[in-house]
């Protein structure tokens, strides 16, 4: 695990974004940990979050035209990432997000920001079973755009519909690379080095046995 990944885990834990307990996921699975990116909820948090995403994007070195942040949690992520790409990496990247409800007055449509055209870099919070990412893909494809890649904060490394991980399925189905700031493997490594996290580690490992890849 790299230093910035450990830093990211500690940042997430300090904000209660990363919590341990018992959580019901969108997929119906009961998880001993949860990542709630909505709790990065101050200006400084968002600036810091954007720095992590921007650095990961620059590292991934994927060619793309537009950043797309799907509603709702992808919106501040895409915005903060675009700001930090400009501030720290001298890259002025167009960004775009969607509304959940289509607007039938004013400017109409359900996209805001740059047109969703060309090669799209999708930024979001978490992939578990891959449902949210597939919904975003429907929007990208409906606009005739192509997926260049996906960047998320946490890859939970869980099975998707079959035996592959949700991310492997997305990579296979859309021919694009998915990058994460941290994966479940990083989290397990981090927990295993802490003296007071043995119980959480055991619970996470048991969950991983059941749903992990």
**Interface residues toward ligand OMP, by CB under 6 A:** 25-27, 34-36, 125-132, 166
Distance of closest approach, residue 125 Cβ to ligand OMP, in angstroms: 5
Q: In what helix (H) or strand (E) does residue 147 lie, and over which residues does it extend?
A: strand 146-155
The closest of 43, 58, 60, 45 to 88, measured between CA atoms, is: 58
- Whether 193 is catalytic is no
Containing H/E element for 76? helix 74-89
Q: Is the dihedral angle over the CA atoms 74, 101, 117, 114 positive or is it negative?
A: negative
Nearer to ligand OMP, 131 or 141 (CB): 131
Task: Please identify which of the residues 15, 89, 103, 200 carries the catalytic annotation.
Answer: 103
Shortest distance, CB of residue 127 to ligand OMP, whole angstroms?
5
Which CB, 25 or 60, lies closer to ligand OMP? 25
Quote the least distance from Cβ 179 to ligand OMP, whole Å. 15
Distance CA 213, CA 208 (A): 8
The helix (H) or strand (E) run that includes residue 82 is helix 74-89
Residues 6 or more apart whose Cβ sits within 8 Å of residue 151: 53, 56, 57, 60, 81, 121, 122, 123, 124, 178, 179, 180, 181
- Annotated binding-site residue? 99: yes
Q: Is 159 one of the annotated binding-site residues?
A: no
The nearest distance, CB 169 to ligand OMP, in angstroms, is 10
Cβ-based burial of 177 (10 A; exposed 0-12, middle 13-18, buried ≥19)? middle
Contact by Cβ (8 Å): 132, 124? yes
User: Any binding-site annotation on 35?
Assistant: yes
Q: Is 89 annotated as a binding residue?
A: no
Is the CB of 85 or the CB of 123 nearer to ligand OMP? 123
Q: 56 and 75 in contact (C-beta within 8 Å)?
A: no
Looking at beta carbons only, is 96 or 166 nearer to ligand OMP? Answer: 166
The answer to whether 103 is a known catalytic residue is yes
Residue 131, marked binder: yes
Binding-site residue ranges for 5-phospho-alpha-D-ribose 1-diphosphate = 26, 72-73, 99-100, 103, 105, 124-132
Annotated binding site for orotate: 34-35, 128, 156
Just list the catalytic residues: 103, 105
Residues contributing to the annotated binding site: 26, 34-35, 72-73, 99-100, 103, 105, 124-132, 156
């Amino acid at each position: 695990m790299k230093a910035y990944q450990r830093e990211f885990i500690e940042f997430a834990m300090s904000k209660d974004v990363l919590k341990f307990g018992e959580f019901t996921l969108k997929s119906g699975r009961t998880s001993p940990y949860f990542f709630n990116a909505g709790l990065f909820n101050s200006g400084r948090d968002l600036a810091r979050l954007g720095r992590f995403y921007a650095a990961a994007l620059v590292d991934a070195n994927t060619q793309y035209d537009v950043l797309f942040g799907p509603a709702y949690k992808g919106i501040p992520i895409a915005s903060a990432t675009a700001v930090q790409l400009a501030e720290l990496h001298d890259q002025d990247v167009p960004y775009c997000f969607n509304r959940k409800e289509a607007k039938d007055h004013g400017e109409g449509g359900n996209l805001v920001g740059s047109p969703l055209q060309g090669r799209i870099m999708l930024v979001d919070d978490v992939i578990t079973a891959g449902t949210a990412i597939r919904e975003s893909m429907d929007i990208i494809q409906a606009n005739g755009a192509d997926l260049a890649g996906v960047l998320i904060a946490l890859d939970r490394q869980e099975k998707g519909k079959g035996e592959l991980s949700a991310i492997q399925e997305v990579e296979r189905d859309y021919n694009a690379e998915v990058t994460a700031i941290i994966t479940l493997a990083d989290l397990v490594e981090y927990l295993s080095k802490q003296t007071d996290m043995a119980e959480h580690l055991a619970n996470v490992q048991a969950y991983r046995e059941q749903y992990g890849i």
